Structure 1
Amino acid sequence: MKQMKNIFALIGVITVAYLLLTSNGQIAGIDSKLTEAVTQIESSIGFSHQEANSESSGLVDAVVTRSSDGDTFHASVNGRNETIRILLIDTPEDQKPGTPVEPFSREAAAYAARVMPAGAHIKLQLGKAPDQRDHYGRLLAYVYEPDGTLYENDVVRRGLARIAYVYKPNTDHLTQLEQSQSYAESHHLKIWSIPGYVTSRGYNPSK
């Protein structure tokens, strides 16, 4: 609501500025004058285009507190420490008790820690109700790296993750991920370099 009021205020300022300038015959340089006026009003009301874009896109700000593996990490979200389970992907396992370290699991975990280290500011696209948490209580989300890259697409295209756990309504970005997975598989990248390793139910370490 606050951002909408700010937007209406900006529209009002632009309209008034335009009328004043045109009525005085000051068409030349109107763009720079309007830009200056808009900048001043933005500063006075604390408005930023980045804030508006973030709000309209439905993304939530978060800060990484601790990395875990390639598809799970911890972050501060709205003042709460949450365990985030990244939607639509599955990376090889290296922390499950009683199971062997799966090939490329450490590479996936290391990459996640590199692009989203502790303290990194990221954005989350939360899962859709009623499926916003999994049965472990972890918050489900699509994750955008600090530079704006969709993390899921990044790791799938690099061959560090497979598409998995595809359940409606949380199927946003699925087409994009399928294209990236096809690319990784056809180029035999990482997990796809071992024949038979990737299965529809997970990974087969014996391969």
Structure 2
Amino acid sequence: MNKRILAAFLTALLLLSGCSQPLMSPATSNEETATTRTSEAETDAGTTNAKQTTYPTDDLNLPRVAVELVKAVDGDTISVMFEGKKENVRMLLVDTPETSHPKLGVQPFGPEAKAFTKELVEQADRLELEFDIGPNRDKYSRLLAYVYADGKMVQESLLEEGLARVAYIYPPNTRYVDKFDDLQRISRDKGLGIWSVENYAQEDGFHPEEQDDTNKNNNPDTTATQAPTEKPQPSKQACDIKGNINSKGEKIYHTTESPYYERTKQEQWFCSEEEAEQAGFRAPLK
């Protein structure tokens, strides 16, 4: 009798121990799986956040004015119908090389910038302007605005392609300058467009002579094979007098001997002091 009771007890004990063993395994496995998935999710989220750059100006949803395109004037200027009148719009905070400047002529990457802007605005189903908090017009009576083609800002696209530089930063019209600076830095680091020629795009404008020097270095035999009667192409160096209009509306020109020459932002170039004076500019006061 005692042997039967003992055998039954041992059998029950073995059954209990056998049933309890697998009960812990799934729980442990689930916990490990959950921990692994959480860790992977956190890693992915961290990677995504690290790559994403945000700005205080993102998603402002500011009002925009729909306009009708007349034509693309230049890389940074378009003509539109605004409030029933034809108006030129100068894009805020960017500058593209010239295509038809009376003094500078056609600059490298100017035609490319104009063609890029032309394609964006002409193919857009909706063209809009966004104004900043400062003046809506410059001294030439052009509208100052951020231009959107089907919701994409044209200034941003130009900077991303390396076809414009950040310029003419006049507070308080500086809403997107931080983002523009970053876009410019990226395209410059990649050597896109205007940044493909060293020292071509500088703080005071574009320097086509830098590209000429690069071409000469890459093609040293070009000068030797040129016909002696060929005239050199005019450059900005031949017209190095800077014309500037200050905040009071005074037209002042600065020669290379002027102490303010380097810090002056040119709005017009002149080849002589007489030419500057004929255009209504005066020498700086001493």
- TM-score in terms of structure 2 length: 0.50
**Among residues 86, 89, 104, which one is paired with 1:84 in the alignment?**
89
Q: Which amino acid aligns with 1:82?
A: E
Asked whether the 8 Å contact 1:192–1:198 carries over to 2, the reply is: yes
Give the superposition deviation at 1:109.
Answer: 0.3
User: Which residue number in structure 2 is paired with residue 192 of structure 1?
Assistant: 195
Q: Evaluate the alpha carbon distance shift between residue 192 and residue 91 of structure 1 in structure 2; reply closer, same or farther with a 3 A threshold.
A: same
User: Which residue number in structure 2 is paired with residue 14 of structure 1?
Assistant: none
**Among residues 73, 76, 80, which one is paired with 1:75 in the alignment?**
80
Supply the RMSD in Å over aligned alpha carbons. 1.5
Which structure has the greater CA radius of gyration?
A: 2
Q: Which amino acid aligns with 2:127?
A: I
Q: Evaluate the alpha carbon distance shift between residue 206 and residue 170 of structure 1 in structure 2; reply closer, same or farther with a 3 A threshold.
A: same
After superposition, the C-alpha distances for 1:2-30 in whole angstroms (9 at most, x for unaligned) are: xxxxxxxxxxxxxxxxxxxxxxxxxxxxx
User: Which residue number in structure 2 is paired with residue 62 of structure 1?
Assistant: 67
Q: Evaluate the alpha carbon distance shift between residue 98 and residue 60 of structure 1 in structure 2; reply closer, same or farther with a 3 A threshold.
A: same
User: Which residue number in structure 1 is paired with residue 225 of structure 2?
Assistant: none
User: Which residue number in structure 2 is paired with residue 45 of structure 1?
Assistant: none
User: Which residue number in structure 2 is paired with residue 163 of structure 1?
Assistant: 166
1:141 maps to 2:145: yes
After superposition, the C-alpha distances for 1:88-122 in whole angstroms (9 at most, x for unaligned) are: 00000111113231110000000111010188531
**Among residues 97, 101, 108, which one is paired with 2:106 in the alignment?**
101
Report the Cα distance in structure 1 between the residues aligned to 2:85 and 2:187, rounded to whole angstroms: 36
User: Which residue number in structure 2 is paired with residue 152 of structure 1?
Assistant: 155
Does the residue aligned with 1:62 lie in a helix, a strand or coil?
Answer: strand
Percent identity over the alignment is 34
Report the Cα distance in structure 1 between the residues aligned to 2:180 and 2:162, rounded to whole angstroms: 11
User: Which residue number in structure 2 is paired with residue 43 of structure 1?
Assistant: none
Q: Which amino acid aligns with 1:155?
A: L
Does the residue aligned with 2:170 lie in a helix, a strand or coil?
Answer: coil
User: Which residue number in structure 2 is paired with residue 110 of structure 1?
Assistant: 115
User: Which residue number in structure 1 is paired with residue 131 of structure 2?
Assistant: 126
Asked whether the 8 Å contact 1:125–1:142 carries over to 2, the reply is: yes
- Structure number with the bigger relative contact order (C-alpha 8 A, sep ≥ 6) is 1
User: Which residue number in structure 1 is paired with residue 183 of structure 2?
Assistant: 180
**Structure 1: 5+ residue stretches without partners:** 1-55
Report the Cα distance in structure 2 between the residues aligned to 1:82 and 1:177, rounded to whole angstroms: 25
Provide the aligned length of Structure 1 versus Structure 2: 150
Asked whether the 8 Å contact 1:108–1:160 carries over to 2, the reply is: yes
1:205 maps to 2:208: yes
Asked whether the 8 Å contact 2:132–2:174 carries over to 1, the reply is: no
Give the superposition deviation at 1:78.
Answer: 2.1
Q: Which amino acid aligns with 1:121?
A: R
Asked whether the 8 Å contact 2:124–2:149 carries over to 1, the reply is: no
Asked whether the 8 Å contact 1:63–1:119 carries over to 2, the reply is: no
Asked whether the 8 Å contact 1:67–1:118 carries over to 2, the reply is: no
Give the superposition deviation at 1:174.
Answer: 1.1
